């Protein structure tokens, strides 16, 4: 049974995040990006859910509830999950539906195959009749077809379709499907220390007008561990007020990126990550400095 987070607990978590040094006024406009195929604005920081809500138990539901409430209360909308992320779809469904939050969210999930039974299972677990984005997970073969996904989109079961990979060895397959089937989104590994997609996937995504979601934007936490105990350099202080915003804003500094989806099971981290939608973004010179900075770590 779900134990709802109390108002007091949520206020304490939000308060902790607000105590973090911030150079930005809380009433500044939040960064949104237009989904290329529709023009629909999407808040540029979302929530990734790999690993964090794997087990359907009271502890997972409590942290999911706090993270989702923090997302919505701080201007976010996008949640990325997958049929293969343990119980994450079920945990999210158990939290979102009773709180009446479905309409405030942009829910993206992934199927391993274009399989009707797998789709039905995801819809049931997420407790929703419709998805915002349905993605084919880990595309690895250039002949994989999005025909079923296109039918489901035409039937109104999902509003957008996409493909994903975080394996550079499969980028050839991603390019083939992206160029041929022209999905609405591609989700790909992109972080300040993993920039292969700048050469290959981002240019093609721009050509075929696919929105880009960046998987693993903090390098699974690797980037944050690499700067532990270090101060943000002075030259970055006009756009980054925390290390998560430094790393996420590097990605958002590329206008082809529609949204970053850092994974977290911690509501204070969720609020901190959403802060990357506030204030300035690094310019091209600053982005080059950021690359040099990380390469020298
Ligand atoms: N093939 C695919 O389609 C694919 C593959 C991989 C990932 N993805 C998607 O991309 C999302 C992001 O990737 P990821 O979750 O693997 O890695 P990530 O977002 O790069 O990093 C997540 C790690 O960073 C930590 N973290 C997040 N925000 C933080 C903050 N403000 N301060 C300190 N630590 C913070 C998290 O721990 P805490 O929980 O403690 O915050 C977690 O350990 C996934 O969740 C998933 O939705 C898709």
| pLDDT (tens digit per residue) in 59-94 | 999 999 999 999 999 999 999 999 999 999 999 999
| Interval between CA 181 and ligand 1 midpoint (Å) | 28
CB of 271 closer than 6 angstroms to any ligand 1 atom: no
pLDDT at position 10 over 70 = no
Q: Is the CB of 164 under 6 A from ligand 1?
A: yes
pLDDT grade for 25, boundaries at 50, 70 and 90:
low
Beta pairing class for 32-34 and 41-43: antiparallel
CA torsion, points 265, 266, 271, 272, in degrees to nearest 10?
A: -110
Quick check: CB of 273 below 6 Å from ligand 1? yes
Please say whether the beta carbons of 56 and 24 come within 8 A: no
Q: What are phi and psi of 76, to 5 degrees?
A: -90, 165
The residue contributing the CA closest to ligand 1 atom 39 is: 264
**What is the pTM (predicted TM-score) of this model?**
0.94
Is pLDDT above 90 for 3?
A: no
Answer yes or no: is pLDDT of 261 > 70.
Answer: yes
Of residues 3, 24, 15, the one with CA closest to residue 242? 24
56, pLDDT greater than 80: yes
Task: Choose between 27 and 233: higher pLDDT.
Answer: 233
**Cβ 80 under 6 angstroms from ligand 1:** yes
Token representation of residue 58? 């009271």
DSSP per-residue letters across 26-65? TTSPPPEEE-TTT--EEESB-EE-TTTT-S-SHHHHHHHH
Q: What is the pLDDT of residue 24?
A: 53
Of the candidates 165, 106, 105, the one whose C-alpha atom is nearest the C-alpha of residue 140 is: 165
Mutate to test the pocket of ligand 1, among 48, 51, 193 (most ligand atoms within 8 A of CB): 48
Least confident of 28-32, 72-76, 172-176, 245-249: 28-32
Cα of 75 from ligand 1 centre, angstroms = 19
Average pLDDT of the chain, as a whole number: 93
Please state the atom number of ligand 1 nearest to the C-alpha of residue 268.
Answer: 31
Q: What pLDDT score was predicted for residue 26?
A: 64
Cα 155 to averaged position of ligand 1 atoms, centre (Å): 32
CB 165 within 8 A of CB 173: yes
Q: Is 267 near ligand 1, meaning CB less than 6 Å away?
A: no
Displacement of CA 40 from its chain's centroid (Å): 17
Q: State yes or no: pLDDT of 101 exceeds 80.
A: yes
Tokens of 30: 């939040």
| Residue 94 to residue 126: CA distance in whole angstroms | 8
SS3 145: coil
Quickly list H helices, the chain.
Answer: 7-19, 58-73, 88-96, 116-126, 147-154, 171-181, 201-208, 222-226, 243-252, 267-274, 284-295
* Residue 183, token pair as written in the block: 């999905």
Q: What is the pLDDT of residue 19?
A: 36
Please, what's the b/e burial string for 196-227 (b: 16 or more CB within 10 A of its CB; e: otherwise)? ebeeebbebbeebebbbbbbbbbbbeebbeee
Q: How far is CA 232 from each of CA 94, 95, 216, 222, 228, rounded to the nearest angstrom?
A: 39, 36, 21, 16, 10
Could you report the per-residue pLDDT of 110-142, keeping only the tens digit for each?
A: 999 999 999 999 999 999 999 999 999 999 999
264 CB under 6 A from ligand 1?
yes
Q: Does residue 12 register a pLDDT over 60?
A: no
Kindly state the average pLDDT of the residues 28-55: 96
């Amino acid at each position: 049974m779900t134990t709802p987070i109390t108002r007091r607990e949520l206020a304490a978590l939000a308060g902790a995040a607000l105590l973090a040094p911030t150079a930005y006024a809380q009433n500044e406009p939040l960064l949104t990006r237009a989904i290329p195929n529709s023009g629909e604005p999407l808040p540029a920081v979302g929530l990734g859910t790999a690993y964090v809500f794997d087990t359907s138990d009271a502890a997972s539901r409590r942290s999911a509830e706090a993270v989702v409430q923090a997302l919505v209360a701080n201007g976010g909308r996008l949640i990325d999950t997958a049929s293969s992320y343990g119980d994450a779809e079920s945990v999210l469904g158990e939290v979102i539906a009773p709180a009446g939050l479905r309409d405030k969210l942009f829910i993206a999930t992934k199927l391993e195959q274009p399989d009707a039974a797998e789709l039905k299972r995801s819809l049931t677990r997420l407790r929703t009749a419709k998805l915002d984005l349905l993605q084919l997970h880990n595309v690895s073969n250039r002949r994989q077809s999005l025909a079923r996904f296109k039918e489901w989109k035409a039937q109104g079961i999902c509003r957008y379709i996409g493909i994903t990979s975080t394996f550079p060895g499969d980028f050839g397959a991603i390019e083939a499907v992206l160029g041929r089937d022209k999905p609405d989104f591609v989700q790909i590994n992109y972080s300040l220390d993993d920039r292969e997609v700048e050469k290959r996937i981002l240019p093609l995504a721009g050509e075929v007008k696919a929105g880009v979601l960046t998987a693993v934007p903090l390098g699974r936490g690797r980037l944050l561990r690499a700067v532990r105990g270090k101060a943000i350099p002075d030259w970055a202080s006009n756009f980054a007020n925390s290390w998560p915003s430094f790393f996420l804003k590097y990605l958002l500094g590329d206008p082809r990126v529609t949204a970053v989806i850092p994974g977290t099971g911690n509501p204070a981290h969720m609020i901190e990550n959403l802060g990357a939608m506030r204030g300035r973004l690094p310019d091209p010179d600053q982005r080059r400095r950021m690359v040099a900075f990380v390469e020298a770590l």
